[in-house]
Amino acid sequence: MSLGALYQQQQFGSYIDGAFLIHKSQPLLSLVSPVTQKPWKELSLASTALTNQAIQAAHTALPIWKSVPAPQRGKILRQIGNLLIENKTIFAECMAMEMGKPIQEGAKEIDYSAGYFFWFAGEAERLYGKIVPASIPEKQLMVIHEPVGVCGIITPWNFPLAMGARKISAALAAGCTIVAKPSPECPITMCLFAQVCQEALLPKGVFNMVMGPEKEIGQAILSAPEVRKISFTGSCDVGRYLYKESAPTLKKLTLELGGQAPLIVFDDADLNKAISGTLTAKFRNNGQTCIAANRALIQKSIYPAYIAGLKAAVEKLVVGSPLEAKTEISNILHPLSTARVKEHVRDAINKGAEVILQGKKPYHPTLLTHITQKMRIFHEETFGPVLGITVFDSDEEGFALANDCEYGLAAYAFTSNLKRSRDCMQRLEYGIIGINDGLPSTPQASFGGLKNSGFGREGGPSAIQEYLVEKYISIAF
């Protein structure tokens, strides 16, 4: 079946051992599109038994997939990347219908996702071991790498494909097999991805996907000894829960959790770059990104020009239906984001914030100034199109404000000064730092956080290690 034909189907179910499973004897769950507010697709939900079936399929496929020569695995990964790009418009429309992402952003998400498959196709070919110098001539020592095993991959709704793609590409390159659990809100994109895997001739059982109740599926994945690794992207609370519950089976973990990015504009910054960087860092995906800037820290002398320029630029953003090509800001905001936007704006205004720009609806971009450390927006991830802005005097004060945060995912700084740039690299306590760059994430560089933003890296040369184990070999002659 073509991807287009699959997308037109009404009923969807889990993908296990190379087949979509729809249990017509059980009631199907109606999935309502936030765009139309009408039932859109019907879902056949997985139980514990079906999740265990997926784990067993992945376990059975593991020796087959890990023995496929790495360059051959790389070829299949490249084919997955090519098919994603070929089917970009279908994926973009699906994501718009599932979670309200503008189709122009959805298309970029597909390019970004395909980029991870291309990058890790190359990494598969570079899975080198090590020869270790022995202290006596009668020994040969070496280290080899092997796939960690079956991986449980759990992803959020805000990037229905990309958050999975960053993990799946690395896991497949390493020779691991997968049981993926997409967000209950966005399972259709992952079904389309499963079809892409089939078309790319990925052997059956290597990629499996279960959709259904998160606690039940989560528990089956957590308790299975065959699952050796969990890679999770989502909220800190769920991340902590998975960390704790993985202890009995000592699984390896990658946790990509929340953020609360500061964006510093120093007085020597190129104002145009700072403003366009702010638009990207804040308003991409309507502020619903883990690396979204939530607090703009502006040095005093550049503050009036920055505010005037930013306000004018934000007013030009096209707000509308996610299905329209020209839409930059979707008129669909996740209900949890809507609630947090309202609460953070209310809290900030009550505590003295000044409104520079505010639309009629929570999805309209909002700019608040006079933000202080007493306000929730300073410390909590809003995950919506609101930017809190504050002024600082000395660089010292700017860095102190930026680092006053329990999270450590991303930070942005705008400056034309080399020394300040180096200070930013050294002093900002964040895993990703964009200097004059509002969009630093790319497949060939590592993505991941410090502090409460979690641990582990996705993308870049070190990320494949997350899906490998080392074996040390000593041969005595």
Question: Residue length, the chain?
Answer: 477
Q: Which of 55, 150, 154, 179 binds ligand NAD (CB under 6 A)?
A: 154
Q: Does 214 bind ligand NAD (CB under 6 A)?
A: yes
Q: Are the C-beta atoms of residues 378 and 295 closer than 8 Å to each other?
A: yes
Residue nearest to ligand NAD (CB): 218
**226: nearest Cα among 152, 160, 276:** 152
Toward ligand NAD, which CB reaches closer, 277 or 384?
384
Toward ligand NAD, which CB reaches closer, 168 or 391?
168
- DSSP code for 447: B
CA pair distance 12, 30, nearest whole angstrom: 10
* Angle subtended at Cα 176 by Cα 232 and Cα 62, rounded to the nearest 5 degrees: 130
Q: List, in sequence order, every residue forming a beta bridge with 14; answer none if it has no partner.
A: 21
Q: Does 316 bind ligand NAD (CB under 6 A)?
A: no
Strands (E), 223-260: 227-233, 252-256
Binding to ligand NAD in span 172-201, by CB under 6 A:
181, 183-184
- What mask, x for binding ligand NAD by CB under 6 A, covers residues 9 to 48? ----------------------------------------
CA separation (Å) from 151 to 8, 55, 59, 71, 254?
A: 30, 9, 10, 21, 11
Q: Does 337 bind ligand NAD (CB under 6 A)?
A: no
Q: Which helix (H) or strand (E) holds 476?
A: strand 468-476
Instruction: Give min distance, CB of 63 to ligand NAD, in A.
Output: 27
**286: nearest Cα among 30, 88, 34, 41:** 34
Q: Which of 215, 316, 360, 419 binds ligand NAD (CB under 6 A)?
A: 215
Token digits of residue 110: 């597909």
Token digits of residue 472: 């040390």
Toward ligand NAD, which CB reaches closer, 186 or 391?
186
**396: nearest Cα among 297, 294, 305, 307:** 297
Toward ligand NAD, which CB reaches closer, 236 or 313?
236
Q: Does 341 bind ligand NAD (CB under 6 A)?
A: no
Q: How many residues contact ligand NAD, by CB under 6 A?
A: 26
User: Is 256 annotated in the active site?
Assistant: yes
Toward ligand NAD, which CB reaches closer, 134 or 450?
450
For residue 302, the one-letter residue type is: I
Catalytic: which of 151, 290, 405, 424?
Answer: 290
Q: How far is CA 457 from the centre of its chain?
A: 11
Q: Which of 14, 51, 113, 155 binds ligand NAD (CB under 6 A)?
A: 155
Instruction: Give min distance, CB of 451 to ligand NAD, in A.
Output: 12
Binding to ligand NAD in span 397-426, by CB under 6 A:
409
Q: Does 290 bind ligand NAD (CB under 6 A)?
A: yes
Which range binds ligand NAD by CB under 6 A, 50-58, 76-84, 235-243, 339-347? 235-243
Toward ligand NAD, which CB reaches closer, 199 or 214?
214
Q: List, in sequence order, every residue forming a beta bridge with 140; answer none if it has no partner.
A: 475
Q: Which of 105, 123, 226, 381 binds ligand NAD (CB under 6 A)?
A: 381
Alpha-carbon torsion (305, 263, 394, 420), positive or negative: negative
- What mask, x for binding ligand NAD by CB under 6 A, covers residues 425 to 454? ------------------------x-----
Catalytic: which of 105, 123, 256, 381?
Answer: 256
Question: What is the four-CA torsion angle of 263, 269, 273, 276, rounded to 10 degrees?
Answer: 40
CA separation (Å) from 209 to 175, 260, 315?
A: 17, 31, 41
User: Is 290 annotated in the active site?
Assistant: yes
179 C-beta neighbours (distance < 10 Å), count: 31
Toward ligand NAD, which CB reaches closer, 68 or 165?
165
Q: Which residues are at the interface with ligand NAD (CB under 6 A)? A: 154-158, 163, 181, 183-184, 214-215, 218, 233-235, 238, 241, 256-259, 290, 381, 383, 409, 449
Active site residues: 256, 290
